[in-house]
Amino acid sequence: MNNMQHNMQHQKDKNGEGMKLVASLTSKRSRSSFVKELLKMPGGENILDCIQCGLCAGSCPTRFAMEYSPMQIIKMMHLGMREKVLSSSTIWICSSCYACYARCPRAINITTLMMSLRNLAIRESFVDRKGVKPKFHISFFEIVNKYGRMHEPELLTRILKKSDLRSLFHFAGLGWRLLKKGKLQIRAPKIEQGTDLSNILEKTSEEES
Ligand code: SF4
Ligand code: SF4
């Protein structure tokens, strides 16, 4: 190899090294920016304490239907996989049962974190807002905002009214049984000091956005 070839090879190696360095710096930067974002979210305060013990995944009753287990979701957060986390079906399959939180040895509130992720996924259009699960999530919030409490018949009709009339009939039997037992109210409930609640919800929405 003559001098010129040697210099060219040296330059090529240098460029290669540089590219690798930039790639690693970029990924480190995006990784830490996602982690920083998560640390500020309700439920995400101590995600860095996770020891990947798997108790959350082992306790989760809906794990079988999830794309990634709660433990994997936490690991993906550590790795800065923002897009994958926010577009994952896992955050929508979570039934908010709190089993993972109750058993986590590091007191990581995955249940609340999943809710925060759902809000973020809706805000940033990672999901189809008209899909049944986001629609359920949005309608739930709107109804609580409106009455101060849940009104199940309205929730059901909002979710199913256009999409699936057959499902509405399917739930009619269950609705009737609940009604007979006094577990369902036809009239929408109203709480006292509903305005206070609306103000709180409005304030939290502002802080989140
Ligand atoms: S139970 Fe807690 S510490 Fe264990 S893997 Fe799940 S989040 Fe991490
Ligand atoms: S809160 Fe969600 S993630 Fe945690 S155990 Fe229950 S269903 Fe699974």
Residue 70 Cα to ligand 2 middle (Å): 7
Q: Which of 108, 127, 146 is the last residue of a domain?
A: 127
Q: Is residue 141 part of a domain?
A: yes
Which numbered ligand comes closest to the C-alpha of 104? 1
**Is the Cβ–Cβ distance between 86 and 124 less than 8 Å?**
yes
- The verdict on 98 and 179 lying in the same domain is no
Say what the pLDDT of residue 13 is: 45
pLDDT in tens, the chain (209 residues): 555 454 444 444 444 454 454 445 446 666 689 999 999 999 999 999 999 999 999 999 999 999 999 999 999 999 999 999 999 989 999 999 999 999 999 999 999 999 999 989 988 888 777 676 788 888 888 888 888 888 888 887 787 765 566 777 777 788 888 888 888 777 877 777 666 777 777 777 666 55
Long-range pairs, 155-161, Cβ under 8 A, ≥24:
159/132, 159/135
Closest CA to 148 of 203, 200, 185, 194: 194
Give the single-character DSSP code of 189.
Answer: P
Q: Is residue 27 part of a domain?
A: no
Q: Which atom of ligand 2 is nearest to 63's Cα?
A: 8
- The verdict on 114 and 147 lying in the same domain is no
Full domain range(s) for residue 172: 128-209
Residues near ligand 2 (Cβ within 6 A): 59-62, 70, 94-100, 110-111, 114
Residue nearest to atom 4 of ligand 2 (CA): 100
Which numbered ligand comes closest to the C-alpha of 71? 1
Say what the pLDDT of residue 43 is: 96
Q: Which of 69, 99, 127 is the last residue of a domain?
A: 127
Pocket test for ligand 2, best of 64, 110, 116 (most atoms within 8 A of CB): 110
Q: Rounded to whole angstroms, how far apart are CA atoms 42 and 59?
A: 21
Q: What is the CATH number for 63? A: 1.10.1060.10
Q: Which atom of ligand 1 is nearest to 51's Cα?
A: 3
Closest CA to 57 of 87, 9, 93: 93
Q: Rounded to whole angstroms, how far apart are CA atoms 104 and 51?
A: 10
Q: Is residue 24 part of a domain?
A: no
Q: Which atom of ligand 1 is nearest to 107's Cα?
A: 2
- The verdict on 94 and 152 lying in the same domain is no
Which numbered ligand comes closest to the C-alpha of 72? 1
pTM: 0.70
Q: Which of 85, 112, 127 is the last residue of a domain?
A: 127
Q: Rounded to whole angstroms, how far apart are CA atoms 124 and 118?
A: 10
Residue nearest to atom 8 of ligand 2 (CA): 60
- The verdict on 133 and 209 lying in the same domain is yes
CA distances from 74 to 16, 39, 60 (A): 32, 12, 14
Residue 17 Cα to ligand 2 middle (Å): 43
